[in-house]
Amino acid sequence: MADFSYFAEQFDDIKILRYQVPAFERLTLREKFFVYYLSRAALAGRDILWDQNNRYNLEVRSVLEKILRDYSGDRECEEFKQFLVYAKKVFFANGVHHHYSMEKFVPLFSKEYFLALAQDSGISSPREEVMRLIFDADYMAKRVVQDEGVDLVTASANNYYVGVTQREAEEFYRLKPGEDEFVTRGLNSTLVKNADGRLEEQVWKVGGKYGPQLERVVAELQKAQEYACNETQRKGLELLIDYYRTGDLRLFDRYSIAWVKENEARVDYINGFIEVYGDPLAYKASWESVVEIVDEEACERTRKLADNALWFERNAPIDERFKKPEVVGVTARVVQAAMLGGDCHPATPIGINLPNAEWIRERCGSKSVTLDNITYAYDVVSLSSGVLDEFAASEEEKALVREYGSLGGNVHTDLHECLGHGSGRMLAGVGQEALRNYYSTIEETRADLFALYYIMDPKLIELGVIPSLDVAKSEYCNYIRNGLMVQLTRVRPGCNLEESHMRNRQLISSWVYEKGLVDNVIERVTRRGKTYFQIHDFRRLRLLFGKLLAEVQRVKSEGDFEGARNLVETYGVCVDTDLHQEVLARYERLHVAPYAGFINPSYRLVERDGRVVDVCVDYPADFLAQMLEYGEQF
């Protein structure tokens, strides 16, 4: 598709992109069927995430969909256009809260106008809770709260806890004598206080909470099972199905181990309650899915990293107590996303490393993927954005990034996912609950530091992963520029950083900037009223990354909560208000949306003479149409 447009539309602070899946055409018919049914399974759990994000989200979405389909009035007036933007933002975020800042969207139309829209569309009166959620700015204001000094559970608007306080939740999930320390507690349930005042879990399973949605997911997975690429993959799917039916987390662990061990299939998938970023206590996992096709040619880079995982572990600048004595089962692949679902759509990660259970990583290994068709779409669209020209400190930096920025970003992702998350070990008896609400930020910080430290190691040149250390220099420039300035475009004036990845990037960048002042490693300069951060000594900067990595690994390995809090609160949370205002003003002149997400491809069965003979892929270009289609089908 030579004329394929990766850019679809832009509204508010969001741009909608498209991605292609050229690897799909190279699959066998059996593999295409596998992709087809896995893709349907990836979409079948969509409602779960909406409800997890807030208990009224599905009602809000139902009203929005009804208006968008049936409203017969003026669709060209300013208020309807504002309603349309609001609806798109809600669809993009899988709910009424921003997917990144976690703050609730503010409608720019009146309550009276919304009621008129609803009535014209055949809705007599939306529930009072729905109206309050949309129009009362103080009601359920943030989906995830990470502020110090408040009850993180009761202050957060997500739907993981009902009538429960932070103290009660932490006590409920604290490991008790005789309990199995290797089972991840609370991952797939809503914790509620019943009528008797006792805490109990509503488990997410077929026949339990989210039963109808999981029944649909299971039905599609059973169809996919028939086309699994090998017996190991088929048995893994069987375990996943059994887990969804029972809610037994021991089965999920068995499934995760089987999934890690399967590394031969050209088609792979992620499906389940996986990441815990949506829970301020990091117990509860959001539902997500990705269907992926291995890009064999591009895998050579990640294969070299995985094959040398033990070398990287042994040479890491961390205490010997925290190093793994051996590295097992590390698999790293470059893949093309074929379908994104749940918490991976419309906004999506560019790299993934699973499973999250530390004991499985240590005993059985992990599997990492870099989604190169997603990063390619980002790169194509970014070429004309003007962001690099506006914020880069010098012409030399711009040239460096234009030449090596894309490769540097991909290698950073490879190192972060393949080796970073899979590296190091925790001391006996230490679990991720020790760091509580800081765990996610510390873990992302650790993986980023691992990537930043090693991307400038000559070993990568020796392995043929990068052609020269200019790739590393390019990534250092991009990282510091983003961590100290560009990512601030995603934060409203007067607000601090809440999201774990944003906190992680600022923590690293601020720490190395401060510690490097004495040697002028990074200089903050002002030219014509504009701020820039110029790296003067890349070698010393690498050493600072290594020094911070040693401390962050210690914090994680020892379960040092106070150490985690000190790092995150000192360097990762507060925003320089003057710099923030400057960055926002400079970015606004570029007319570029700081967030991006994707329209999924569409797969359809091709019949001939009453028999299915092929699977075809189409590339829709209308974001809202896809959202309404998903609402009808799933």
DSSP state string for 280-309:
TTS-S--EEEEEEEE-TTTHHHHHHHHHTH
What does the alpha-carbon distance between residue 530 and residue 391 come to, in Å, rounded to a whole number?
A: 9
Residue 625 contacts by C-beta under 8 Å, 6 or more apart in sequence?
Answer: none
> Which pLDDT does position 483 carry in this prediction?
98
Residue 28 contacts by C-beta under 8 Å, 6 or more apart in sequence?
Answer: none
pTM of this prediction?
A: 0.86
Is 8 exposed, middle or buried, given 0-12, 13-18 or 19+ CB atoms closer than 10 A? Answer: middle
In order of start, what are the domains of the chain with their CATH numbers?
7-143+622-633 (no CATH), 211-595 (3.30.540.30)
The string of DSSP letters for 449-502 reads: HHHHHHTTSHHHHHHTS-SSTHHHHHHHHHHHHHHHTGGGGGS-TT----SHHH
Count of alpha carbons within 13 Å of 22, Cβ hemisphere only? 11
> Which pLDDT does position 2 carry in this prediction?
55
> Which pLDDT does position 184 carry in this prediction?
84
Strand-pair partners of 339: 291
Among 407, 416, 425, smallest CA distance to 446 is for: 416
> Which pLDDT does position 550 carry in this prediction?
98
What does the alpha-carbon distance between residue 545 and residue 532 come to, in Å, rounded to a whole number?
A: 20
What does the alpha-carbon distance between residue 253 and residue 328 come to, in Å, rounded to a whole number?
A: 17
Residue with the two structure tokens 């598709």? 1
- What H or E segment, with its residue span, contains residue 73? none
pLDDT in tens, 28-48: 999 999 999 999 999 999 999
CA distances from 628 to 90, 338, 463 (A): 12, 20, 48
597 and 345 Cβ atoms separated by less than 8 Å: yes
* Amino acid (one-letter) located at 10: Q
* Low-confidence residues of the chain: pLDDT under 70: 1-2
First to last CA, the chain: 29
CB count, 10 Å around CB of 495?
14
